A and B are shown apart, each in its own frame.
Chain A
Amino acid sequence: MSQMIKVAITVNGQHTTAMVEPRTLLVQYLRDNLNLTATNVGCDTSSCGACTVHLNGEAVKSCTILAVQADGENVTTVEGLANGNEMHPMQQAFMANHGLQCGYCTPGMVMAAISLVKDIPNPTEEDVRIGLEGNLCRCTGYHNIVQSVLAYAEGK
């Protein structure tokens, strides 16, 4: 698999394009080709959720999608959430409720949380816990993450 392939992906509203190796993962394209390094890799086997981005508005794990599979599609990363200097309300809710410590899981958590509240606009605590089951956090014990998402859903 060495012949280079051209991909064109809209990332955070910007048209991007590059020649990539067929095996390039979407997360590698974001981090290495576009230098969008907020999206982290924690496991690369679809377990931890650190690499969660939105593909056409839906949360997916970018470590197990090929860049070629996202050709022609729309991707949003955590870098694309802010409106100018103003953070997305979900990011603000994480800050106000201490929903992060080391921050490694946070970009993936925030992307998964936005997708969750889009599907369930008024979630219960249990809805939030179930909805974030694909995202692991080694620091917070989850309590403040859940509070952040509930605060966002209430405040919106």
Chain B
Amino acid sequence: MIYSPKSISNAVQILQDDPDAQILSGGTDFMVEVNFGHRAPTSVLSLRAIKELCTWSQQDGVIRIGSALPYAQMETGPLAKLLPALAQAARTVGSPQIRAAGTLGGNLGTSSPAGDSLPVLYALDATIIIATATGERRMAVKDFMVGPKRNALSKGEIITAVELPASTGYQGYSKVGVRNAMVISIASACLVHNPIDRSVRLAMGTVGPTIIRASAAEKWLGEECDLASASSITPAICAEFGRRCGDESQPITDHRSTAEYRRHAVSVITSRLLERCAAS
């Protein structure tokens, strides 16, 4: 059976009546698994027709992105101006066809440590909004992802939106892969500078079981420089910051890369992100 409800409340009700129904958004992970024979759903709940999941809005310094809004809408236009690191991350996902279909809800649903939007959500301390049978619950993204391809979502729940703060400082995303196009990352990172609360927040992807915040390196940086502006960040500080981020990573060796290379790569991209922040 395929359900195509038009509202969130209908969708939640369907999951009550048919608990085995699996949630389908852009299908860029889901349908690949089906076609490979790795997933054989008995029934499917498609989110495509729920218009409110496919929009975004901004209010009181909070940007709310519907879980089924495709990446293509984050790459350019007003949302890209508000969230430049998310735009950069979105542009690296697959190809134009994948970005026309793939969504944040799906990236979170899959919870791969290589998911390109996830370091951005971590660096911005995103809140995940989840519809449940009894209403709604909100959860910090750091509590959402609990392991590689594992998350805190329970049966019957649907991710409806992601909330992110609007901020003014530098935001950047960087990713290393084996080639430029259509590539799953070997290491990735997002850096967000907030001059108002004098902080830099740094999240790393693909170098641990979940996304990792480089909390110790962030703290060290705050003690070394006055982060009210980026001007006191020197090249030597950038290099040391990258080294410290590498120390906090927990990479593994797999078919895409060795742990050593991942640690090296994440040190290089985190120090470059800080250089870009200093030059901004």
**B96 contacts chain A at the CB level, 8 A cutoff:** yes
> In the complex, which residues of chain A have a beta carbon less than 8 angstroms from the beta carbon of B43?
1
> In the complex, which residues of chain B have a beta carbon less than 8 angstroms from the beta carbon of A22?
1-2, 44
> In the complex, which residues of chain B have a beta carbon less than 8 angstroms from the beta carbon of A61?
97-98, 101
> In the complex, which residues of chain B have a beta carbon less than 8 angstroms from the beta carbon of A63?
31, 35
In the complex the two chains form, is B101's CB within 8 Å of A134's CB?
A: no
**B150 contacts chain A at the CB level, 8 A cutoff:** no
A-contact 0/1 string along B169-189, CB 8 Å cutoff: 000000000001110000000
Measured in the bound complex, the distance between the Cα atoms of B2 and A44 in whole Å is 20
> Which B residue sits closest to A66, measured CB to CB?
B2
> In the complex, which residues of chain B have a beta carbon less than 8 angstroms from the beta carbon of A23?
34
**A153 contacts chain B at the CB level, 8 A cutoff:** no
Pick 17 A–B contacts, CB within 8 A, sort by A: A1-B41, A1-B44, A46-B32, A46-B98, A47-B182, A58-B72, A60-B97, A61-B101, A64-B28, A65-B31, A66-B24, A66-B27, A66-B46, A68-B46, A69-B46, A116-B96, A134-B98
**A148 contacts chain B at the CB level, 8 A cutoff:** no
**B139 contacts chain A at the CB level, 8 A cutoff:** no
**A49 contacts chain B at the CB level, 8 A cutoff:** yes
> In the complex, which residues of chain A have a beta carbon less than 8 angstroms from the beta carbon of B27?
64-66, 69
Q: Assuming the A-B contacts A59-B100, A60-B101, are A133 and B95 also in contact, with contact meaning beta carbons closer than 8 angstroms in the complex?
A: yes
In the complex the two chains form, is A65's CB within 8 Å of B2's CB?
A: no
**B167 contacts chain A at the CB level, 8 A cutoff:** no
**A130 contacts chain B at the CB level, 8 A cutoff:** yes
**B42 contacts chain A at the CB level, 8 A cutoff:** yes
Measured in the bound complex, the distance between the Cα atoms of B100 and A63 in whole Å is 14
Chain A proximity of B179: nearest CB distance (Å): 10
* Chain B positions near chain A (C-beta within 8 angstroms): 1-2, 4, 24, 27-28, 31-32, 34-36, 41-44, 46, 48, 72, 94-98, 100-101, 180-182
> In the complex, which residues of chain A have a beta carbon less than 8 angstroms from the beta carbon of B46?
66, 68-69
* Chain A positions near chain B (C-beta within 8 angstroms): 1, 3, 5, 22-23, 25, 44-47, 49, 52, 55, 58-61, 63-66, 68-69, 71, 112, 115-116, 119, 130-131, 133-135
5 closest Cβ pairs, A-B complex: A134-B95, A133-B181, A64-B31, A22-B2, A44-B35
Measured in the bound complex, the distance between the Cα atoms of B92 and A130 in whole Å is 10
Chain A proximity of B14: nearest CB distance (Å): 14
In the complex the two chains form, is A134's CB within 8 Å of B31's CB?
A: no
Partner of B182, one of A5, A66, A134: A134
In the complex the two chains form, is B35's CB within 8 Å of A134's CB?
A: no
> Which B residue sits closest to A116, measured CB to CB?
B96
> In the complex, which residues of chain A have a beta carbon less than 8 angstroms from the beta carbon of B42?
1
Q: Assuming the A-B contacts A65-B101, A66-B46, are A59 and B41 also in contact, with contact meaning beta carbons closer than 8 angstroms in the complex?
A: no
> Which A residue sits closest to B46, measured CB to CB?
A69
In the complex the two chains form, is A112's CB within 8 Å of B41's CB?
A: no
In the complex the two chains form, is A49's CB within 8 Å of B2's CB?
A: no
> Which B residue sits closest to A73, measured CB to CB?
B48
Measured in the bound complex, the distance between the Cα atoms of B276 and A32 in whole Å is 52
Chain A proximity of B33: nearest CB distance (Å): 9
In the complex the two chains form, is B32's CB within 8 Å of A59's CB?
A: no
> In the complex, which residues of chain B have a beta carbon less than 8 angstroms from the beta carbon of A71?
4
Chain B proximity of A67: nearest CB distance (Å): 10
Measured in the bound complex, the distance between the Cα atoms of B1 and A5 in whole Å is 9
Measured in the bound complex, the distance between the Cα atoms of B68 and A6 in whole Å is 24
Known: A68-B4, A133-B181. 8 other contacts (CB 8 A): A46-B94, A47-B182, A49-B95, A59-B96, A63-B35, A71-B4, A130-B181, A133-B182
